[in-house]
Structure 1
Amino acid sequence: MAKLSKDDETARVERMTGYEGRYREADGYTIAFEKFEEGGDFTPFYQGLPDDLCQSHHWGYVVRGRLIMHTPAGDEIVEAGEAYYTAPGHTDELDPGTELVEFSPTDELARTLAVVAQNLASDAS
């Protein structure tokens, strides 16, 4: 069994301006606690993926704030207190102060985040 708390100091932690994520991997899945202090529309960071869309499944729960999943079929809004599932083929937008818990297949997530990281790096330069 794997577990993770939002303050777990043994987790893999990633920080950048306006963001903190804590991650633990187990049995092919990644558990994440994420805080988006600044929020924003993250659509540009998926450029270079097929159809410029996230290629990972996600199951999650919005603890605080609001998440908007942009899909070709239209936008889905998930607010604090609601759980969600989304298939590959989306981008996301978060209100400032949003916090969520998310579960994703590790391999799909890693391939997607590799492209996101490249886009973040070129955006910072």
Structure 2
Amino acid sequence: MTSTTREDAPVGFEGDGVELRMKDLGGDMGAAFIRFPKGTDMAPALKGLPDDLCQCPHWGYIFKGRLKLKTKHGDEIYEAGQAFYWAAGHAPEALEDCEFVDFSPTQKFKEVIDHVNSQMS
């Protein structure tokens, strides 16, 4: 079995108050600790992916804040205290300062992170 803490997970990307730390937990799944300051909109960084949306599914829990998840089928609001499942095809936007933990297929999420990093450089 493998576990991690936010401090032990390597940085996947960071800048302008955004921080994503991710670690492979084995079994093709990884954990990510994510912080988005209010106003963070990931849509521009996802441009170029199919439908310009994240194509990785995520399961997680929001510790702090509220965010809007933009999808082809409409927007959904998530807030602190909620567990979630986000199917492939979404772009988060922080309505408040947000902190959440996310569990995702490691390779699929790495592809998205690599794309985001290429957009940020």
Give the TM-score category using the shorter length. Answer: 0.7 to 0.9
Calculate the TM-score normalised by the size of structure 2: 0.88
Root mean square deviation of aligned Cα: 1.5
Matches within 5 A, 1:108-123: 108-121=108-121
Q: Structure 1 residues 31 and 39, CA, compared in 2 at 3 Å: closer, same or farther?
A: farther
Q: Which structure 2 residues correspond to residues 39-50 of structure 1 after superposition, within 5 A?
A: 39-50=39-50
Kept after mapping to 2: 8 A contact 1:39/1:98: no
Deviates more, 1:107-116 or 1:15-24: 15-24
Q: In the TM superposition, what are the counterparts of 1:42-121 in structure 2 within 5 Å?
A: 42-121=42-121
* Cα contact 2:37–2:94 (8 A) shared by 1: no
Aligned amino acid, residue 16 of structure 2: T
Identity of aligned residues (%): 40
Contact in 2 for aligned 1:57/1:104 (Cα 8 Å): yes
Tell me the matched-pair count. 119
1:56 alignment partner, SS class: coil
Asked if structure 2 preserves the Cα contact closer than 8 Å seen for 1:19 and 1:38, the reply is: no
Alpha-carbon deviations, 1:6-54, whole Å to 9, x = none? Answer: 3x3x321343220223322122111011122354211111111111111
Counterpart of 1:12, as a letter, is P
Contact 1:39 1:95 (8 Å CA) reproduced: yes
Give the 3-state SS of the residue equivalent to 1:41 in structure 2.
Answer: coil
- Letter in structure 2 aligned against 1:17: D
The one-letter amino acid of 2:41's match is: D
In the alignment, is residue 37 of structure 1 matched against residue 31 of structure 2? no
Match of 2:19 in 1: 20
TM-score of the two chains, using structure 1 as the length reference: 0.85
- Report which of the two structures shows the higher radius of gyration computed on alpha carbons: 1
User: Runs of 4+ in structure 1 displaced over 6 angstroms?
Assistant: none
